[in-house]
């Protein structure tokens, strides 16, 4: 099968021009200002952008967490991702301390068989004992080139300092990058206990239990260990000025560190957790939503590229029956703000359309940098001959409203209910196959493939 996209404004992390793209089989075969070529399908993209398929480097789809399970499956999450322009997901495989890492990886992998978009994983390291190194080596041999660690969630996912050192030491040896949730677990536990003892139990206290200093200390802690081991590290869902400063200071010491932020932290603030009737529980995540003053710092860091990627930390839990588990105790609210479907449109609307970032930065943050950092580039993350034909034809003239009534995500609310968007994907292809047409999923479940990756962070 062949596909010819004509007259689109082709935008990558570095380019911006009007031209045609010919896709043959699963890859891009020709790009030129004008192609007089025959194809099985021709799409006129005049007046629209053509972006490389977007990559979400931080999602949770299969997730046992806090006594329940995330609501999405790959059937729902991959459809939602595609409708939102995301063609590749990198999921956090999160075994508990008592779980076998290799068995957990195989379990997570089996859950992705019906994915409509491509996918890969970060393998969670929740303990480091005599058997761990051998199991992780085997997972890396199978094409998973990134680890995930938690410096929070004591007793569940969290690792101690000896385990942190050994994980980073192994990562350095293997050339694997380590993604890290950075919060000081002891401070979180003590602050939570104090607030609950004072009968401060509502969702609005999530922020006070995990203030910016707690996140910044976690980042500083990670940077120190990275400096001592030479490992390459990646701070996930960075939310505040203090954490950004800790990374900047580490950069000046030569630490190899990258920064991710997630779309909720750019546009939502802690006032959302203060909504009445327990509605604030919909907005509980960790690190928590911050004071709105931190958002300017995040946008500035994105413009300067201190923040490399914008992901979601997509973790979908229903309000009814799941978020409600934390009535009377905010520490029992399942964490997460579902946003895999809306990330690209919100970043475009509130970033590009508001003049906070330009188009090239938008593509770089939502696609290219994730591909580069995690070993997918240039197969993914750009538009060039030989790259996978993952393409998004984006209509900048569309005007619409986000709502749970029309979303593909399998949760009972939308955190951005009623928000206006300015632009959306009209056509989305995955390796040359049209999976979204007319902004609706029309594709094939199971078309997605596991993207194996080679270690590159030596």
The residue ranges of every structural domain in the chain are 53-373
CB-CB contact of 83 with 51 (8 Å): no
Q: Is the pTM of this model over 0.95?
A: yes
Residue-level pLDDT, tens digit, the chain, 458 residues = 999 999 999 999 999 999 999 999 999 999 999 999 999 999 999 999 999 999 999 999 999 988 899 999 999 999 999 999 999 999 999 999 989 999 999 999 999 999 999 999 999 999 999 999 999 999 999 999 999 999 998 777 899 999 999 999 999 999 999 999 999 999 999 999 999 999 999 999 999 999 999 999 999 999 999 999 999 999 999 999 999 999 999 999 999 999 999 999 999 999 999 999 999 999 999 999 999 999 999 999 999 999 999 999 999 999 999 999 999 999 999 999 999 999 999 999 999 999 999 999 999 999 999 999 999 999 999 999 999 999 999 999 999 999 999 999 999 999 999 999 999 999 999 999 999 999 999 999 999 999 999 999 99
Q: What's the pLDDT score for residue 67?
A: 85
Nearest to 97 by CA among 141, 17, 153: 153
**DSSP H helices in 253-349:** 263-267, 293-304, 343-347
Q: What's the pLDDT score for residue 65?
A: 84
Q: What's the pLDDT score for residue 153?
A: 85
Please give the structure tokens belonging to residue 118: 């491509």
- Domain 53-373 maps to which CATH number in 2.70.170.10, 3.20.20.140, 3.10.580.10, 3.20.20.80? 3.20.20.140
CA distances for 275 relative to 125, 205, 280, 298, angstroms: 36, 12, 5, 24
Residue 145 is classified by DSSP as: -
Residues 235-258 as b or e (16 or more Cβ within 10 Å = b) = bbbbbbbbbbebbeebeeeebbbb
Instruction: Tell me which H or E stretch contains 406.
Output: none
- Residues ≥6 apart with Cβ < 8 Å to 406: none
CB-CB contact of 84 with 42 (8 Å): no
Please state, in angstroms and rounded to a whole number, the distance separating the CA atoms of residues 64 and 73.
Answer: 12
Please state, in angstroms and rounded to a whole number, the distance separating the CA atoms of residues 276 and 284.
Answer: 14
| Residue found under tokens 């993604």 | 179
């Amino acid at each position: 099968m062949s596909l010819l996209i004509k007259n689109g404004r082709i935008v990558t992390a570095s380019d911006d021009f009007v031209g045609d793209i010919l896709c043959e089989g699963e890859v891009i075969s020709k790009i030129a200002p004008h192609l007089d070529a025959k194809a099985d399908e021709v799409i006129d993209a005049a007046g629209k952008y053509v972006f490389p398929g977007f990559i979400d480097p931080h999602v949770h789809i299969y997730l046992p967490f806090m006594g329940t399970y995330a609501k999405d499956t790959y059937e729902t999450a991959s459809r939602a991702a595609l409708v939102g322009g995301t063609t590749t997901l990198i999921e956090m495989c999160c075994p508990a301390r008592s779980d076998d890492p290799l068995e957990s990886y195989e379990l997570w992998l089996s859950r992705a068989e019906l994915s409509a978009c491509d996918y890969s994983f970060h393998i969670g390291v929740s303990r480091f004992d005599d058997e761990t190194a051998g199991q992780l080596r085997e997972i890396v041999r199978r094409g998973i080139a990134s680890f995930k660690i938690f410096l929070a969630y004591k007793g569940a996912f969290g690792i101690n300092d000896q385990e942190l050192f050994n994980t980073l030491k192994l990562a350095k040896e293997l050339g694997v990058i380590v993604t890290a949730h950075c919060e000081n677990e002891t401070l979180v536990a003590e602050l939570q206990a104090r607030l609950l003892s004072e009968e401060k139990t509502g969702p609005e206290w999530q922020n006070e239990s995990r203030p910016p200093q707690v996140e910044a200390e976690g980042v500083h802690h990670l940077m120190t260990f990275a400096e001592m081991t030479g490992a390459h590290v990646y701070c996930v869902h960075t939310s505040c000025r203090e954490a950004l400063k800790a990374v900047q200071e580490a950069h000046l010491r030569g630490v190899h560190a990258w920064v991710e932020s997630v779309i909720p932290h750019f546009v939502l603030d802690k006032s959302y957790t203060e909504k009445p009737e327990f509605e604030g529980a919909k907005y509980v995540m960790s690190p928590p939503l911050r004071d709105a003053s931190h958002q300017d710092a995040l946008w500035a860091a994105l413009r300067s590229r201190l923040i490399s990627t914008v992901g979601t930390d997509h973790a979908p839990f229903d309000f009814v029956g799941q978020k409600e588990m934390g009535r009377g105790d905010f520490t029992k609210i399942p964490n997460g703000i579902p946003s895999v479907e809306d990330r690209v449109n919100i970043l475009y609307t509130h970033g590009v359309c508001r003049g906070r970032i330009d188009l090239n930065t938008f593509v770089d943050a939502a696609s290219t940098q994730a591909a580069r950092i995690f070993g997918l580039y240039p197969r993914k993350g750009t538009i060039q001959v030989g790259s996978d034909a993952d393409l998004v034809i984006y209509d900048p003239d569309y005007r619409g409203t986000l709502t749970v009534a029309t979303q593909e995500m399998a949760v009972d609310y939308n955190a951005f209910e009623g928000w206006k968007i300015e632009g959306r994907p009209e056509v989305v292809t995955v390796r040359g196959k049209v999976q979204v047409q007319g902004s609706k999923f029309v594709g094939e479940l199971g078309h997605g493939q596991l993207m194996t990756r080679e270690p590159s962070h030596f």
